Structure 1
Amino acid sequence: MNTPQDSSLGREVSYPSQYDPGLLFPIPRRAAREEIGVDDTALPFVGHDRWHAFELSWLDPRGKPQVAVATVQVPCTSPNLIESKSFKLYLNSLNSARFDDAPAVLGRIAADLSACAGAPVQVVAGLPPLHEAPLGESIDGLDVAIDCYGPPQAQYLSADAGVEVEETLVSALLKSNCPVTGQPDWATVSVRYQGPKIDRAGLLRYLVSYREHAEFHEQCVERIFSEVSARCQPQWLEVEARYTRRGGLDINPWRASHGIATPAATYRELRQ
């Protein structure tokens, strides 16, 4: 079974000079889900991992370079997540490959990523629009004292069963670390729900407690979803983290309760 330690993460590598789909490195989702009590065969959520690719290039049939941007969507039901450094190396391997047109490139990327993830992956040209302000109410201005930066402390989470609300709470203070290299990963996270009113100070303390936590982006979001669900008992819940770009890629894992439709329109944070 592939583990992060088997990947190219944290190792000196040569950038590829020719197209090589073998660079893509899958990491099974099951082990991390077992750690938080999630049954991989009966997921308590729906969702996807949406990637934004800013550095996509190839050669046309006459050898002229072409450039584009793209959005990639990996379903959370796929057996594997795609390790980010391998994804970057793979995209760079397209730089010297010749394709008839952009649809041919996007089709090839979709096929290769689908093989790596173990499920159909969508790849489309273009990126979502930027949105300068978060679509929700920020909790970052709360006057709270914080002294725990890891591991995540689910006991900080609570909700008032006597008050039911529907709201979206947003924090730009989510930070975690790569479990292999220790490099920081920065994100804005939104928690949209209906149900008992979540204690905002406790939620902020909880999110900040990821600050020194080492886990992949997708796994952090699934942990947040699972622990908010268990501690706060919302009727339904959505959690999305929009991570900042590294190496021409950013990732935006989204998890939601069953019955919640995939957002018809999405956006990028100003930091992306």
Structure 2
Amino acid sequence: MNNTPDQSPLGKSSAYRTQYAPELLFPIARQQKRDELAITGTLPFFGLDIWNAYELSWLNMRGKPQVAIATISAPADSPNIVESKSFKLYLNSFNQTRVAGIDALQSLLREDLSHAFGAPVHVTIVEPEHFGKLTMGELEGLSLDRMDIEVDDYSPAPHLLTARFNEAPVEETLVSNLLKSNCLVTGQPDWGSVQIAYVGPQIEQEGLLRYLIGFREHNEFHEQCVERIFMDILRQCKPTKLAVYARYTRRGGLDINPWRANFSTGRPPNLRGARQ
């Protein structure tokens, strides 16, 4: 897999094809960025990238338009991510494509996306009659944003992460709505919320909030930002258990929600936040 972000459809004029075109999907190897984080060999985490597609539409066999919401979960140990604009273009290629029902659509999505990610993905489709059952919710935990701090550095600074190594370990969950990073290719802003659950020496909260705000001018894809946060906290604060979960706002009808953990917490809830 030799695809690089600058070769992707991002930042380029694209023709929106409305007939099924799986070749539009643009995989990028995860290891390229993991090398920067010195992640080699066995991964120090497991997890998922949870994608929600709110603008899924196709034609039934009589030509009548159909709509649904799809959730696609790709494992963190898959070899590739899929560049988000190519994902959007791929989904739009169904707009004028006749598909013989939900099962056939789900099968196509699963096959194409598993091929692109390089590992089996899980696909669920919610039809309109079940939209009313979908619920919203915010990330749970103690808000870091309550603190009135002064900030003058807007690039990730791992040295800001400190912990109370001489005190008894704690178990706590911290959240912030102030996560912002920028697209690796276009520089466009990506807005998100992040939840950090851990067991270990108590993390100094002001430093953690400053660290998270430090992503504000940082250019990286969502999945890469979450892995950077995970690795920096793991190395600097040395928790015995750690989970990092980010919920990013949607772009082009897609939101991406990466989750990384090194202990069994169960799959995180896929609850759409107010900003999503």
TM-score for both structures, normalised by structure 2: 0.95
Q: What's the CA shift string for 1:13-34, capped at 9, x where partnerless?
A: 1111211000000000001001
**Alpha-carbon contact 1:47-1:262 (below 8 Å) kept:** no
Distance 1:157 1:261 in 2: 24
The answer to whether the Cα contact below 8 Å between 2:162 and 2:237 also exists between their aligned partners in 1 is yes
Output aligned runs, 1:97-112, within 5 Å: 97-112=97-112
Partner of 1:71: 71
Which residue pairs with 2:119 in the alignment? 119
Deviation, 1:68, is 0.3
Structure 1 residue 265: deviation in Å? 3.7
Cα separation, 1, equivalents of 2:57 and 2:162: 47
In the alignment, which residue of structure 1 is the partner of 2:273?
A: 269
Which residue pairs with 1:160 in the alignment?
164
CA shift, 1:266, in A, is 3.3
Partner residue of 1:177 out of 169, 179, 182: 182
Match of 2:136 in 1: 130
Report the 3-state secondary structure (helix = DSSP H, G, I; strand = E; otherwise coil) of the residue aligned with 2:145: coil
Structure 2 runs not aligned, ≥5 long: none
Aligned mates of 2:113, 2:246 — CA distance in 1: 21
1:48-95 per-residue CA deviation (whole Å, 9 max, x = no partner) reads: 100001000111111111000011000011100010000000000011
Q: 1:231 to 1:264 in 2, by over 3 A?
A: closer
Paired residues in the alignment total 268
Task: Give 1:76-95 correspondences, 5 Å limit.
Answer: 76-95=76-95
Cα separation, 2, equivalents of 1:216 and 1:125: 25
Which amino acid in 2 is paired with 1:176? Answer: S
What is the root-mean-square deviation in Å for CA atoms of aligned residues? 1.2
**Which stretch of structure 1 is more off in the superposition, 205-214 or 162-171?**
162-171
TM-score of the aligned structures, taking structure 1 as reference length = 0.96
Separation (CA, whole Å) in 2 of partners of 1:143 and 1:17: 49
Q: Quick check: 2:18–2:97 contact (8 Å CA) kept in 1?
A: no
SS of equivalent residue, structure 2 residue 186: coil
Which consecutive unaligned segments of at least 5 residues does structure 1 have? Answer: none
Offset of 1:264 from its aligned partner? 6.0
Aligned residue number for residue 201 of structure 2:
196
Secondary structure of the corresponding residue to residue 146 of structure 2? coil
Q: Which secondary structure state, in structure 2, belongs to the residue aligned with residue 269 of structure 1?
A: coil
